[in-house]
Amino acid sequence: MVFTFKMQVAVDYLVAREPVFQFIIDQHGWPIVPMRPQGFATLVLLILEQQVSIDSAKATYLKIQDCVKDITPEYLAVLTDETYRMLGVSRQKTSYIKGLAQKIIDKEFSVEALAQMTADQARNSLIQIKGIGHWTIDIYLMFALQAPDIIPLGDIAVVNTFKELFDLHTREQMFERAQNWQPHRSMATFILWHHYLRSRGRQISYTY
């Protein structure tokens, strides 16, 4: 991915305030900035990614995609629970996906409207939906809406990297450290993920 001027500004800001970010870039190169399309399909993928690996969730998502004509609320709302089970979706995540789909069909929730909201407004809208918690919201805000100032402290890779690089072990300590990275905490998160993956010899594709 080509780094834009806006991304470069964010990185320059961060490395001036946190020398370890420059160390990560020197060691591993520029971070990947994940982007996903806005909409229902991305929320479905994020529900599938909850508490499992990205690769595992992507495999399940592709099975669903092969099963239906399109990843839309209309198709996924009527897919039977048995079909979801055969595709590898847990009972709990099935209920989350179908519940989200039905809310969109019933016009109780609009994915498109999120793009016109502030990050806090979008969070308040999404948190009302069963099965969508703060981790899912954080990732949607960063990946789909390109919100610039998110720090997902519910993400295990972010938490482990805080422990490793800064010897911080409580959420409060991590949040306080990240306050220094405003208003570019999303880019800081991408750099932390970059270190986490590359230092373990791993690489992830965020596209689908």
Pick from 23, 26, 51, 33: which is nearest to 204 by CA?
A: 33
Q: pLDDT for 169-188, tens place per residue? A: 999 999 999 999 999 999 99
Q: Under 8 Å CB-to-CB from 49, ≥6 apart: which residues?
A: 57, 139
Pick from 197, 183, 182, 146: which is nearest to 29 by CA?
A: 197
Name the residue with tokens 């918690």: 133
Pick from 188, 195, 134, 177: which is nearest to 169 by CA?
A: 177
Pick from 138, 182, 177: which is nearest to 161 by CA?
A: 177
Q: pLDDT for 57-115, tens place per residue? A: 999 999 999 999 899 999 999 999 999 999 999 999 999 999 999 999 999 999 999 99
Residue 1: predicted pLDDT? 54
* Its pTM surpasses 0.75: yes
